[in-house]
Chain A
């Protein structure tokens, strides 16, 4: 009896020992919002990293949409069960860095473990967007896109227009819309997805107009809204008038308007460049994609650009071992080979400048287009690095609500923008009170 017990004890001991010897792997939890094809690609990349690095095991967990992942992270923080790294969307940047203590800036992670990121190969707008005042990287830019104008080349040709000559200015968009509507080819000229981002915020950034004080919130959190300026008012009024002429067709705050474009009710559509890989196979016509339009009275040299998407954040108080693993993972993700794979499989823009990407023997039309898109965001000088506001989710939401009141004809554009600014300023005050 005793002997048997002893045997069992030995086995148990052996088991415990062996598991500590063999399972020396350091597990790093990675929460993300990449569903479907995006999630599969992410998992492939992570698996490749895990296979190469025997010491580390990155465990990806899909946590729902961007807002859902953020909410889960907040709840996990409060419960003391936070993830090690987490993918958070662009507009929550201010939420992640205020107050300090939630995250560890990426530049600190790399200094601590003595490694570095290939910053000189990474595209500047992506670095800028996720950097602090001193241009030090706070989070790893991961999936990057920019709003773009999609257009139906076949309809352009049938309307007697050159399908290869893409619309450049808003005047072009209006002119083309009128022609196509007049010929009875479409009922409306264009629609847009994610209005708040791709039409409203992008308008300020493209034309280098201030959205808020303190360099759009990049310098300080004591920010006031300045988007209720003349240029935007005029633009919103123009859209409202265009709506009456059937040139502009409102398709909701999300991407419901895409069906207007794919069903050829509209000839043009503003949507994230990341959707190219998704729209291209789903339509029967020849698809064109170009930069988002600008005002004709601006020179090319006066224009800026913007990026959107999400970054990977490192949470605070991690062990040095984990930080080393994370730094290695980030370097792996930023390798040209992985960036090219990511770009081709997902439609997001490579964070590594395309001149450093491996040469491709033969490319599909989509892959060619995706290489082009990177030029949309790197070829122009930005006055502002982006927009960084506290309570940004609500501010975007209330802007979109006010715009809807404009489209419906309930509120004039200038009044709506003033109302939005007033409410947004109250949101900013609340944010500052909440984080102090």
Chain B
């Protein structure tokens, strides 16, 4: 009996992947190459005059204090978003796993925020935390705290982190839930018989077995906080107050699409590309050794 049929045809497989490759080239590779090209050019936005800038665009980027500030803010922001999203996602997944009745209702409700577009999520939080009419603002004022994210840099930082985490928890929850399901019951039962407590079982069996999922999620959360939170920032803070939420990707947008300084914007996006690529490569290289892949 023949289980598999192998095709000797050398062209058909390429035809199958052709649409995907075409999309990748058109929407990812080509624009990236254009960004690299633009980053070493200087010219007016309309493209009437254009000449080699060599490294001047990059020099201007690093001479700018606000850029260095954005770099710092982005790292801080990435750290907070990924840690909170991962931890809360895991806690919620663990709790839902223990629920006996109506677990599916919890699942639906917890996955729901992920279906909300970042822009809508941002508008929701803007309403909740509006300095003049927000419900939560009223709540904070009961404790004597004047919440105003237009003024206070940390208020702004937290409103963006909270809206981003709120969205990203669902994604983490979903992956952890599946991860927890794939842990063999027999292992946990054997540990229980040997007298391991809940905590011991969690830290010695569940967590190590979840490490591939956790690792994957941390990388995804970082990339999410670097790029996808753009909508949230654009709606709520526009990068302010001062530069407190002006993360790299928002600065790229602001300099390129609002300010029309294409050279500087392209140079920044090339740097951002390098940062994210090296982040992922580094993590794969060093973390992979410690991650248990089943």
Contacts and interface: CB of A to CB of B under 8 A. Distances in A.
Interface in A385-436: 391, 393-394, 397-398, 400-402, 404-405, 407-408, 410, 423, 426, 430-431, 433-436
Contacts of B46: 74, 77-78, 101-102
A402 B148 CA distance: 17
Given A99-B48, A434-B43, A71 B151 contact: no
B261 interface: yes
B51 to A, nearest CB: 8
Nearest to A429: B60
A67 B242 contact: no
Main secondary structure of the interface of B (DSSP, over half): loop
B65 to A, nearest CB: 8
B55 to A, nearest CB: 14
A397 B153 contact: no
Contacts of B130: 256, 259
Given A251-B150, A265-B132, A410-B242, A397 B45 contact: no
A67 B238 contact: no
A63 to B, nearest CB: 13
Main secondary structure of the interface of A (DSSP, over half): helix
Given A259-B132, A404-B240, A408-B151, A95 B45 contact: yes
A254 B132 contact: no
A81 to B, nearest CB: 13
A436 B49 CA distance: 7
A199 B48 CA distance: 35
A400 B150 CA distance: 12
Nearest to B241: A404
Nearest to B41: A434
Contacts of A78: 46-47
B157 to A, nearest CB: 12
B5 interface: no
Contacts of A250: 148, 150-151
Contacts of A265: 132
Given A67-B258, A408-B241, A99 B153 contact: no
B42 A433 contact: yes
B151 A407 contact: yes
Contacts of A397: 254, 258-259
A47 interface: no
B254 A404 contact: no
Interface string B259-285: 111011000000000000000000000
A259 B42 contact: no
User: Which of A252, A391, A434 is the most central at the interface, judged by chain B CB atoms within 10 Å of its CB?
Assistant: A434
B31 to A, nearest CB: 13
Interface residues of A, number: 42
B259 A401 contact: no
B138 interface: no
A360 interface: no
Nearest to A392: B259
A117 B216 CA distance: 65
B152 interface: yes
B243 interface: yes
B238 A254 contact: yes
Contacts of B259: 391, 393-394, 397
A253 interface: yes
Contacts of A124: none
A253 B258 CA distance: 15
A404 B242 contact: yes
B49 A401 contact: no
A404 B131 CA distance: 16
A316 to B, nearest CB: 10
B262 to A, nearest CB: 8
Nearest to A260: B132
17 contacts: A74-B46, A250-B150, A251-B150, A259-B133, A263-B133, A393-B258, A393-B259, A400-B240, A401-B240, A408-B151, A408-B152, A408-B241, A408-B242, A423-B65, A434-B43, A434-B261, A435-B49
Q: Which 6 A-B pairs have the closest CB atoms?
A: A404-B241, A252-B150, A394-B259, A259-B132, A405-B242, A404-B242
Interface of A: 67, 70-71, 74, 77-78, 95, 98-99, 101-102, 250-254, 256, 259-260, 263, 265, 391, 393-394, 397-398, 400-402, 404-405, 407-408, 410, 423, 426, 430-431, 433-436
Interface of B: 42-49, 56, 60, 63-66, 130-133, 148, 150-153, 238-243, 246, 254-255, 257-261, 263-264
Given A259-B130, A397-B258, 13 more contacts: A77-B46, A78-B46, A102-B48, A252-B150, A253-B240, A256-B130, A256-B131, A393-B260, A394-B258, A433-B56, A434-B43, A434-B45, A436-B49
